[in-house]
Amino acid sequence: MNSDNGNFRPCGDACGTMPSCAPLSVPYVPFQQEGSQKYDQTNALANGTLFPGLNLPFHLKVDAGSFPDNQSTQLQALLFVVTELGMYLDTHKDDAEAFQLFRQYAQLAKEGKRRYEEMHGPLTQLSAGQDAAYRWLDDPWPWDFHQEGGAD
């Protein structure tokens, strides 16, 4: 999911820009550039960040393929991308390409939640109101361990 939308990007993908003028004696961190490269959702969840440029080498290598391939993980991956893109947009609200991607993922996550709730019961107490019976208290809860899957 690379991106090259013609933005002016003076630095490489793993680098950011700094203010040309800034108050003295204040430390700064580089500002992430628009149009940064992005992982797909499964790799984003496995790496703990959506952006390869922010994936610093001191972490333990995680194998994205080792996640159980179930609805729960897929939903986690979708919502993780929404969270990550949301945090990015908070500081880059004019990045139209990122916002377009945000809209797509928000739609996917909404659909994913709907399908998950059909299979596994309500995710929030509010959505428990749509069922014929009160299923909010049904197991499993997130802390109920399932073989190979964590909360499934």
Partner 1 sequence: MFVYEKKLQYPVRIKNCNPKLAAVIISQYGGPYFVNLLLNSCNKSIISCKKHRSTVYSRKNPAQEILRRVNFMPLYHCNINACKVYSALRCINEYNIHNSFIQENRACKAVSLSGFFVRISKKYNSHRNTQRKNAITVRLYDNCLFLEEILYKMPSLQEAFLCAMVEMCSCIPFA
State the residues that interact with partner 1 by CB under 8 A. 18-19, 22-23, 26-32, 45, 48, 67-68, 72-73, 75-76, 79-80, 83, 90-91, 121-126, 141-143, 145, 148-151
Cβ nearer to partner 1, comparing 4 with 60: 60
Residues 112 and 74 sit within 8 Å (Cβ to Cβ): yes
Cβ nearer to partner 1, comparing 79 with 101: 79
DSSP H or E run through 74: helix 71-91
Interaxial angle between packed helices 71-91 and 96-120, expressed in degrees from 0 to 180 and rounded to the nearest 10: 150
- Nearest approach, Cβ of 4 to partner 1 (angstroms)? 23
My answer on whether omega of the bond before 30 falls inside 30° of 0, hence cis, is: no
Cβ nearer to partner 1, comparing 51 with 80: 80
CA-to-CA distance for 57 and 107, rounded, in angstroms?
32
- Nearest approach, Cβ of 30 to partner 1 (angstroms)? 8
